Amino acid sequence: MGKGKGKGKQRKQIILPPELPPEIADDDIEVSDEDLQFVDENKDYAGFVSRLDTHSINKQVTRVEGVNEDALEALYEKRRRKTLEQKENEKSVVQVDPVDALPVKSLDGEVYYRTFSQTAEVTENEGDVDKSVVKLTKAERRAKLKKTKKEAKKMGKELAKTEEVQPTQQEAALAEVKEDLTAEEAFEAKKRKLAELGMALLADPEANIKSLKDILQFAKDGDHSIVKLGLLSLLAVFKDIIPGYRIRLPTEKELEMKVSKEVKKMRFYESTLLSAYKGYLQKLLALEKQPRFHHVVVRCICTLLDAVPHFNFRESLLVAVVRNIGSSDDVVRRICCSTIKSLFTSEGKHGGEATVEAVRLIADHVKVHDCQLHPDSVEVLMSLSFDDDLGKPEVQEGNNKMKNKKNKKRKNFEESNQPQGNDRKRSKQETIAKMKEEVAADYKAVSYTPDVEERKRMQSETLSAVFETYFRILRHTMQSSVASSEANGNITSGGSGAHPLLAPCLSGLGKFSHLIDMDYIGDLMNYLKRLAARGSSSDSSAQKVQNLTVSERLRCCIVAFKVMRGNLDALNVDLQDFFVQLYNLVLEFRPGRDEGEVLAEALKIMLCDDRQHDMQKAAAFIKRLATFALCFGSAESMAALVTLKQLLQRNVKCRNLLENDAGGGSVSGSIAKYQPYGSDPSLSGALASVLWELNLLSKHYHPAISTLASGISSMNSAQNQVYISISPQQAFKNLLLEAGSFEYNQQGGTQKSNKRKGRSTALASTLASVEPPPVDENEVSKKLRRHFILLWDIKENERLRGELDRTTSALQLYEEYKKQRKPATLKNKKSKKARTTVGM
């Protein structure tokens, strides 16, 4: 194969000089006269002969001077021998590396790589020397020799460089391949080692507890994938082998004591587990700062806190989770929030101590970041649950303690009156009682069911931290709003961006309003009143603020009513200012910018929840809601009309607004002039107006709104006294859900015909939820009352029968016990009397 490749190689061949002609003596050469005449006559043809360089010709012919015929033949043989040696050397060719060149396909279809001779350059140089058979002078020979030496050195250096470059390229490629293969093999080997160590630990933790340190070494590897696998493997192992109690290392005195082998083994196991767990947590906290490990580390920390919140070093885990609870990364924030919520809802794992610590850390976190966090950081507090009846078991437990004390005193008195022969029994009983008390104390310390006093203490600490956070957010909102107002000097539309924690703060205050201390309710109401008035034209105070949205101000009004209702109106606080704010916010509401659910909730809590309103105030809200329903979308209009109808049903005198007479119908007394742009509902004079908006709403494109408006317009008639049972919130949700499927056809026919065609499907479902069929509420209430009383009587009778059966059976057992006890007591008395008589 190498031979064929060598033939295909293009290389320089050595050109040998032609053979010398035979020598002819000059005497043997004969020139005729005709030849001379022909040359003379035809000088144009034979003129080149006269121009020949006879000296050069003679020199060429006689290029080897002073050499006879025998020596000349020996010279030619020597040259021939050299050519044969060169041909033999050419057989040792070198094949070109496939990495450095592409293959060549011959005419026969054979694919081969090019080759080159190692002695090609040397042969070429020798050929050049062989060509110079002309005798040169000494100076020429010296110059030529220097030149050849320089060329030889240059070619030798180039060959050495090529020989060095080609192997280094090949070696680099081979090294890369070897590195890739070794890296994959090492990765697979480390994975197998991790799996083996983890399975051994899970199979027998006590025997293989030292393997934890070996797995921890993988978390310090240079390969990031191995580090992640090591962290996740340790997470799975720790979740499985961590005990259900906190490990307390023995003290120095306990270590000096002699113990059994089992105790030593358990101490070694616990100390090794605790040290490995500590090293694992330190590694997690160190890797948390690196972005490539951030997600994995946060997932490990959250999983550990959720799985073993009772174990050692819980504080470090809580700090890390709370630190990432307001992260800008959605995945990290979602994982941390779900972990904190799980911690709040599953207090049986840690007895409530982790809840207190987490709430304190959240409060400090909000304080450090100056209330500029993601809303989820405070929204997690909504998952807290508090026991309202925590004080009742305390009274029962106190009574039980008093009874136990009385029984103990009675027992001690009886034992003191007994003879001294029973001292040994009494000492034995005391020892047993002490042991029982110690066991009960140890069990109480280990178990996660704290007593009532401890639970009450933890609940009060949690509540104080929660309300501290909420009040700090409210105070920060007031201060930052005032500062921005003074800096800007004009009205700015800020929004929730400046107060990201205000919305979850108000929601939390509304949920836990019944747990607020009475001493703080007055200050809280003042804060809410000032925040609700921010941005309105009626706020003429020096600290006027304009960067709260309509939804946030509505939430302030909602929280104020929830606080008052949760405390059963214990405080004598005037809520008129909040009604004024709601009256003005109805006109400032914008469906695309503000939240319709918040407005519907405010209408329900402030206007619809069983409150008797002043006639002037009710009429003002009725007129304002009718104007609102005429201007905005179907869902908001439905909520406003439902509230309007409930106000008309509860305030009969306000139905005069449905009349068309001047002055709003027959209303006795003087009527104030109607002021449609007034800010106070009690001074608006709405009774002097007419609900002309209902006539336009009865022609609304939505069939449910048009039907409800027509029903409200005819409320004064005796046959249409139907009370609506749906709330504004439910009405808003129903119309909001239906908005996607509702279609209004505007092509063809008049408005009435289009409306009749479009009402076929949507009207039936909407009216079923919004406008119930006419029924007599008194009759329905009577039936429900009778049904409830009947069911209650049945349940009460069943309970009483069960108690009676238990009591009778207990009495029967007691009577039998007394019968059996009576003969024994008589015998004991007789024996005592006999003993006393004998002793006397």
54-108 pLDDT per residue, tens: 666 665 444 455 666 667 777 777 878 887 777 766 555 556 666 566 777 777 7
pLDDT of residue 814: 84
pLDDT of residue 37: 80
Helix axes 634-650 and 615-631, enclosed angle (nearest 10)? 160
Greatest distance between any 2 Cα atoms in the chain: 202
Query: Is pLDDT above 80 for 51?
Result: no
**Residues 211, 107 share a domain:** no
Q: Tell me the residue range of the domain where 355 lies.
A: 187-383
Q: Give the predicted TM-score (pTM) of the model.
A: 0.61
Query: Quick check: 509 and 470 in contact, CB under 8 A?
Result: yes
CA separation for the pair 146, 143 (Å, rounded): 5
Q: Examine the fold and report which residue of 354, 383, 412 is the final residue of a domain before the chain moves on.
A: 383
Tens digits of residue pLDDT in 385-417: 887 665 444 434 444 554 455 555 555 545 555
386-402 burial, b at 16+ Cβ within 10 Å, e below that, comes to eeeeeeeeeeeeeeeee
Among 183-192, 242-251, 489-498, name the one with the lowest average pLDDT: 489-498
| Amino acid at position 42, single letter | N
Q: H/E element holding 111?
A: strand 111-112
Query: Quick check: 632 and 591 in contact, CB under 8 A?
Result: yes
For residues 20-41, give the mean pLDDT.
73
Q: H/E element holding 70?
A: helix 69-90
pLDDT grade, residue 318 (50/70/90)? very high
Among 43-47, 164-168, 683-687, name the one with the lowest average pLDDT: 164-168
Q: In Å, how far from its chain's centre is CA 55?
A: 103
C-alpha distances (whole Å) from 376 to each of 358, 537, 589, 699 are: 14, 33, 26, 44
The answer to the question of residue 411 being in a domain is no
The answer to the question of residue 618 being in a domain is no
Residues 6+ apart with CB under 8 A from 426: 415
| Amino acid at position 91, single letter | K
Note the residue count of the chain. 840
Q: Examine the fold and report which residue of 348, 383, 418 is the final residue of a domain before the chain moves on.
A: 383
Q: Examine the fold and report which residue of 351, 383, 415 is the final residue of a domain before the chain moves on.
A: 383
User: Both tokens of residue 210?
Assistant: 């030292």
Residues 6+ apart with CB under 8 A from 469: 359, 362, 363, 366, 378, 381, 505
Tens digits of residue pLDDT in 169-200: 666 666 665 666 577 788 888 888 888 888 98
User: Both tokens of residue 790?
Assistant: 């009947």
More confident residue, 57 or 273: 273
Query: Quick check: 21 and 127 in contact, CB under 8 A?
Result: no
Query: Is pLDDT above 50 for 359?
Result: yes
Residue 104 bridge partners (DSSP) = 112
**Residues 95, 209 share a domain:** no
**Residues 194, 288 share a domain:** yes
For residues 10-32, give the mean pLDDT.
64
The answer to the question of residue 828 being in a domain is yes
Query: Is pLDDT above 50 for 599?
Result: yes
Q: In Å, how far from its chain's centre is CA 294?
A: 11
**Residues 308, 193 share a domain:** yes
Q: H/E element holding 116?
A: strand 115-117
The answer to the question of residue 596 being in a domain is no
CA angle 338/342/347 to nearest 5° reads 160
**Residues 323, 253 share a domain:** yes
**Residues 235, 105 share a domain:** no
The count of structural domains within the chain is 3
805 φ, ψ to 5°?
-65, -45
For residues 31-39, give the mean pLDDT.
78
CA separation for the pair 186, 190 (Å, rounded): 6
Query: Quick check: 333 and 372 in contact, CB under 8 A?
Result: no
24-28, 509-513, 563-567: which is most confident: 509-513
Query: Quick check: 530 and 545 in contact, CB under 8 A?
Result: no
**Residues 324, 227 share a domain:** yes
**Residues 336, 203 share a domain:** yes
The answer to the question of residue 285 being in a domain is yes
The answer to the question of residue 456 being in a domain is no
**Residues 104, 6 share a domain:** yes
**Residues 252, 125 share a domain:** no
Residue 382 DSSP label: G
CA separation for the pair 622, 617 (Å, rounded): 9
The answer to the question of residue 228 being in a domain is yes
The answer to the question of residue 485 being in a domain is no
**Residues 250, 116 share a domain:** no
Percent of the chain with pLDDT over 70: 66
**Residues 205, 94 share a domain:** no
